[in-house]
Amino acid sequence: MSTFLQQVKKLWPIAILLLSSILLLIPFFLNHAMIIGSDAIFHFNRLYDTAMQIKHGIFQYFISMYGFQSSGRIVNALYGPFMAYIQGLIVLISPSWFGYQVISNGILYFFSGLSLYLLLKKAGVQLVYRIPLGIFYMTTYSVQYWTLRQGFSS
């Protein structure tokens, strides 16, 4: 039993960050509406392209074969094909674009808070500061930029 309690004691900060990520998603569930920012059509086209490449097993990170009206634009090569394929996989497992947006925002919130938490832990910052700062970082504009405008720099 003592090893179980040690594990719980070790993981509770991560559970708080996960719960905070879910709480930040509440506006999506209350409104049940997507936020379509200025870059949404652009990024959704490139993510749709990678999703269809995964679905059909035809991989071409250099040109767009499905998105952008199958125009052959060179987009994912410039915007990072690795992240595009991860996002394309999320598009494939999502029930809708709304579902994709909720899942991707939840992942962004959680990993942004977790990354700052782990950085502060590595820097020797006390636990009492690490958790609130991780939650605070989730709410900063640099992270919210994806949620509000589908800006990929977040």
User: For residues 61 and 77, is the Cβ–Cβ distance under 8 A?
Assistant: yes
Percent of residues, the chain, with pLDDT higher than 70: 91
So what's the pLDDT on residue 15? 93
Tokens of 151: 């800006």
Nearest-angstrom CA–CA distance, 154 and 151: 6
Calculate Rg over the CA atoms of the chain.
18
pLDDT at 154 over 60: no
48-57 pLDDT tens trace: 888 998 999 9
Nearest-angstrom CA–CA distance, 103 and 106: 5
Running DSSP on this structure, what letter comes out for residue 95? S
Nearest-angstrom CA–CA distance, 37 and 31: 16
So what's the pLDDT on residue 41? 80
User: For residues 135 and 115, is the Cβ–Cβ distance under 8 A?
Assistant: no
So what's the pLDDT on residue 105? 92
82-128 pLDDT tens trace: 888 999 999 999 999 899 999 999 999 999 999 999 999 999 999 99
Which ranges of the chain does DSSP label H, i.e. alpha helix?
2-24, 26-31, 40-56, 76-79, 81-93, 97-122, 127-138, 141-149
